[in-house]
Amino acid sequence: MNRAIDLATRRIVSLVQWLHARLFSTWSSSLASLGILYLAWMLIPPLIDWAFVRAVWSPANASLCRDAIGRSACWAFVADKYRFILFGTFPFDQQWRPALTIAILIGLYMLSALRVRRSRIVSFWLIGMAAIGVLMWGGLFGLSYVENERWGGLTLTLLLATFGIGFAFPLSILLALGRRSDMVLVRWLSVAYIELIRGVPLISVLFMASAMLPLFLPAGVSIDKLLRAQIAMILFAAAYLAEVVRGGLQGIPRQQEEAAQALGHTYWQRTWYVILPQALRIAIPPLVNTFIGFFKDTSLVVIIGLFDFLTTIKVSLTEPVWTGFGVEAYLFAAFGYFLFCYPMSRYSQSLERYTVPARGIQMLKEN
Amino acid sequence: MLPESRRSAGTAGSSKLTWSLNQPRVRSIVYQALLAAAVGFAAWYFVFNAMENLMARRIASGFGFLSREAGFEIGETTLLSYNAGDTYLRALAVGLFNTFRVATLAIIFSTILGALIGLARLSHNWLVAKLAAGYIEGIRNVPLVVQLFFWYAVITESLPAPADALNPLPSVFLSNRGFAFPILASVVPIEMDSPQLHGFNFSGGGLLSPEFAALFLGLTLYTAAFIAEIVRAGILAVDPGQFEAACSLGLNQRQVMRFVILPQALRVIVPPVTSQYLNCTKNSSLAVAIGYPDLVSIANTTINQTGQAIEGIAIIMLVYLTISLAISCFMNWYNRRFALRGSKL
């Protein structure tokens, strides 16, 4: 009994100590704490009231939304349009296919974050990509064919980001190696490409793909809008990834290269078996960060009119029933992107904290 | 340039180059010749196609269109006067000026805000630190376009019409037509030009359009979150021994920061912050999404009207590359000026 009281007292004491140290240590600190608490007291209850307590949830009550505009949030908008926001204009009865695609992609992301062997991850991705291709296009196994103009919503956002990085990554390795090459022309072309792309906004690259690319193709040949945007995103991402990979390459001591050379390995053997495995390992956290940035950047396709997650939300707002609910709609959009980006950024932060440099480098540093 | 060891290996035994693909030097020349041929062919192919296509569409290539009449209005013109009868060149100049206007203001305010939030994130006060961390995570994990749309929606949908504008300070009005505020009309004697409600909108004083306000707000808040992280990392990069030494000299918190930590942290902070400035300028091109007439959005209108896609995009790229170059020149100058002299003291 005494011991219980003792424990409770100790807990209270430590709580008071914590409060004193972390909230009220000095006059200015106390003032800041009180100010924040006051603001929270003033702002949070009405906000909760607006967003949850009084909010309209059921799409059947669209008129209710209109009456209570400004006083209660209208989530009915999301409830009404969620199929369009998730899957775009994919045939309605076939929407289990993009749904499965989203599930596969998220599964693959999560799998990649776990420490599974590299060769396994690659084969999982290859199988997953093939499955996604079949699911989205169809035309096989009795699935009806769906042209990619009808892909959209969150599915499209995930596909753009995944395939964008997937194709940009090998290209970026070549660019990064090229930038460090002994061959003058290779080096100059790589530098010119990387700096040109990094110096201009993504929008101008997207405009280039949507307005300029058709001019560069022979008459009669046309590439659809989605593929053009995807190519632009790949070219854009490659330049940024190349700099990250180069950072990784620079982190590898020269002795590694020299030792491999002394063993008589060719350039590609040295690069493939000695340099890249170590360099990419160092580069993983910044690579994840670049991927987050790229994932966010896919939202720019709204400007050239592809129906990704953001565009479907924006287009839904133009329906007469739902005009004027932009605040709710974009809060929902922000929430959607956050749901993907935040876990990735936490993952990258945890990697930064725990990643041990490759063994070769550690040994070099110890000596 | 081949390293010495390889060059001698390539010509081992004789000073004459033997033409064999086993020679690294020969191989390098062959590879580069092949690459040059491939790049040259691709360039020729694209140019050839482009010329064919332009001819088929009867579009004259070249920058002659710049002196033609633009024929579209621009919602926002400050400093440079413009009307629909002016040339495309003038329209683009107005756009460029608008880009600079919003980017400069966003850079200034995001630097101040970012530095404050970065310091707040390191505060001993738990609430302050958590609030700053929440702000940074929240802003950084949401695309800027979404934030711009959000602010634009807040301004145009949630704020009242000019007739019942919010009036938080005397002569400052917030309405769905933008922000109206007084400006200094003359310095001696001090005279203010205050906005007055006329009909459906305000006149007199300064007026920020909803587009400008949303873009400025979004850009500032977004860039500030990134700058805050850089500031925090820069301060953490200073050796803790420096902090302890400064404290043991009897300096107070403010002095420690001002004279010991910040000068050292700035060396780490400035280069990445400069590249954030560059990002901020590039991000201002998202103006096109909410209809603020910046360079990209006017170039886009120009492309749509004239079909001069190549020239229009070339102009955009040229302008941004010039800005990038100027900023990286500044960065190099700064690094030279403030880098530690010698690696050891």
Q: pLDDT of B35-64, one tens digit each?
A: 999 999 999 998 888 888 888 877 777 777
- Interval B282-292: pLDDT, tens: 999 999 889 89
pLDDT at B225: 94
Q: Which of B94, B65, B68 is nearest to B79 (CA)?
A: B94
The answer to whether A215 contacts B309, with C-beta atoms less than 8 Å apart, is yes
Of all residues in chain A, the one with the smallest CA distance to B36 is A185
Answer whether B155's CB lies under 8 Å from B176's CB: yes
Nearest to A200 among B147, B149, B317 (CB): B317
Tell whether the model's pLDDT for residue B152 goes beyond 90: yes
Q: Give chain A positions within 8 Å (CB) of B274.
A: none
Do B90 and B66 form a contact (C-beta atoms < 8 A)? no
Residue count of chain A, please give it.
367
Asked whether the beta carbons of residue A303 and residue B288 sit closer than 8 angstroms, the reply is: yes
pLDDT, residue B16, reads 58
pLDDT in tens, A307-364: 889 999 998 888 887 877 888 889 999 999 999 999 988 888 888 776 554 444 444 4
**What does DSSP say about strands B183-186 and B191-193: parallel, antiparallel, or unpaired?**
antiparallel
Residues 44 to 73 of B: which have CB under 8 A from any A CB? 46, 49-50, 52-54, 56
The mean pLDDT value for A290-297 works out to 91
Return the percentage of chain B with pLDDT > 90, whole number: 32
CA A23 vs CA A31, A201, A293, B112, B257: distances in Å: 9, 43, 35, 24, 21
B54 versus A160: the higher-pLDDT residue is A160
Is B128 near chain A, with CB under 8 Å?
yes
Cβ of residue B153 closer than 8 Å to a chain A Cβ: yes
Distance CA A348, CA A285 (A): 5
A338 interfacial to chain B (CB closer than 8 Å): yes
pLDDT digit string, tens, across residues B124-133: 889 999 999 9
Give pLDDT, residue A161. Answer: 92
Task: Show residues of chain B in contact with A186, CB under 8 Å.
Answer: 31-32, 35
Read off the pLDDT of each residue in B209-218 and give the average, rounded to a whole number: 92
- Residue B245 confidence class, pLDDT cut points 50, 70, 90: very high
Contacts of residue B115, Cβ cutoff 8 Å, sequence gap at least 6: B227, B228, B231
Task: State which amino acid sits at residue B115.
Answer: A
The per-residue pLDDT for range A189-209, each reduced to its tens digit, is 999 999 899 889 999 999 888
Residue contacts between A and B (CB atoms, under 8 Å): 173
Residue A1's pLDDT is: 60
Task: Determine how β-strand B196-198 pairs with β-strand B201-203.
Answer: antiparallel
Percent of chain B with pLDDT over 70: 90
| Other CB atoms within 10 Å distance of the CB of residue B296 | 29
Does the structure show a pLDDT above 60 at B3? no
Which chain A residue's Cα is nearest to B319?
A: A200
Residue whose pair of structure tokens reads 């003792």 in the numeric block: A6
Q: Can you give the pLDDT at residue A358? A: 45
pTM assigned to the model: 0.86
pLDDT score at A156:
92
Partners of residue A212 in chain B, C-beta under 8 Å? 309-310, 313
Contacts of A196 in chain B (CB under 8 A): 317, 321
DSSP collapsed to 3 states, chain B: CCCHHHHHHHCCCCCCCCCCCCCHHHHHHHHHHHHHHHHHHHHHHHHHHHHHHHHHCCCCCCHHHHHCECCCCCCCCCCCCCCCCCEHHHHHHHHHHHHHHHHHHHHHHHHHHHHHHHHHHCCCCHHHHHHHHHHHHHHHCCCHHHHHHHHHHHHHHHCCCHHHCEEEECCEEEECCEEEECEEEECCCCEEECCEEECCEEECCEEECHHHHHHHHHHHHHHHHHHHHHHHHHHHHCCHHHHHHHHHCCCCHHHHHHHHHHHHHHHHHHHHHHHHHHHHHHHHHHHHHHCCCCHHHHHHHHHHHHCCHHHHHHHHHHHHHHHHHHHHHHHHHHHHHHCCCCCCC
Neighbour-count burial for B181-208, b at 16+ CB within 10 Å, e otherwise? bbeeeeeeeeeeebbeeeeebbebbbbb
Question: For residue B183, is pLDDT > 80?
Answer: no
Contact B321 A208 (CB under 8 A): no
The per-residue pLDDT for range B69-114, each reduced to its tens digit, is: 777 777 777 767 777 777 888 888 888 999 999 999 999 999 999 9
Residues in chain B, overall count: 345
What is the pLDDT at residue B216?
94
* Whole-number Å distance between alpha carbons of A29 and A32: 5
Distance CA B133, CA A198 (A): 29
Nearest residue of B to residue A220, measured between CA atoms: B53
- Is A299 in contact with B288 (Cβ distance < 8 A)? no
Smallest Cβ–Cβ distance between A23 and the set B1, B126, B149 belongs to B126
CB contact under 8 A, B143 and A296: yes
Nearest to A293 by CA among A345, A346, A227, A239: A345
pLDDT of residue A137: 82
| pLDDT at residue B8, as a whole number | 44
B125 neighbourhood in chain A, CB within 8 Å: 22-23, 25, 29, 32-33
What is the structure's pLDDT at B285?
92
Give the start-to-end residue ranges of the domains of chain A: 82-151, 160-366
Please give the pLDDT value at position B113: 96
pLDDT score, position B106: 94
A186 touches chain B (CB under 8 A): yes
pLDDT of residue B10: 43
User: CA dist A5 to A14, A85, A164, A168, Å?
Assistant: 14, 56, 61, 63
Q: What integer is the mean pLDDT of A281-300?
A: 89
Kindly determine whether residue A207 and residue B313, on different chains, have CB atoms separated by under 8 Å: yes
pLDDT at A354: 66
Would you state the pLDDT for residue B239? Answer: 87
Here the ipTM equals: 0.87
The whole-number average pLDDT for the span A3-10 is: 84
The pLDDT of residue A295: 92
Judge: A201–B324 Cβ closer than 8 Å, yes or no: no
Instruction: Inform me whether the C-beta atom of residue A193 falls under 8 Å from chain B C-beta atoms.
Output: no
Lowest mean pLDDT among A179-183, A198-202, A325-329, B162-166: B162-166
Long-range CB contacts (< 8 A, 24+ apart) of B90-95?
A: B91/B298, B91/B301, B91/B302, B92/B66, B92/B295, B92/B298, B92/B299, B92/B302, B92/B315, B94/B293, B94/B298, B95/B293, B95/B294, B95/B295, B95/B296, B95/B297, B95/B298, B95/B299
Beta carbons of B56 and A25 less than 8 Å apart:
no
User: Is the CB of A208 inside 8 Å of chain B's CB atoms?
Assistant: yes
Tell me the average pLDDT across B5-29: 63
Instruction: Measure B102 CA to nearest chain A CA, in Å.
Output: 16
Mean pLDDT value across chain A = 84
Q: Which of residues 266-295 of A touch B (CB under 8 A)?
A: 292
Instruction: Give the best residue of A327, A331, A337, A352 to mutate against chain B (max B CB count within 10 A).
Output: A327
CA gap A294, A288 in Å, rounded: 10
Question: What per-residue confidence (pLDDT) applies to B17?
Answer: 59
Nearest residue of chain A to residue B321 (CA atoms)? A199
A326·B150 Cβ contact <8 A = yes
The class level of CATH for B88-338 reads mainly alpha
Q: In this structure, what token pair is assigned to residue B155?
A: 């301004």
Q: What is the pLDDT of residues A206-256, one digit of tens each?
A: 988 888 888 888 877 778 888 899 999 999 999 999 999 998 888 888 888
Neighbouring CB atoms inside 10 A of B288's CB total 22
Q: Which residue among A29, A296, A300 places its CB closest to the CB of B125?
A: A29
Give percent of chain A with pLDDT exceeding 90. 24
Q: Among A23-32, A352-361, B206-215, B326-335, which stretch is predicted with the lowest mean pLDDT?
A: A352-361
pLDDT digits (tens, 9 = 90+) for A112-156: 888 667 778 888 888 888 888 888 887 777 777 777 888 888 999
Domain A160-366: CATH architecture, name and number where available: Orthogonal Bundle (1.10)
Q: Taken in order B116, B119, B122, B125, is the CA torsion positive or negative? A: negative
Contact at CB, B36 and A185, closer than 8 angstroms: yes
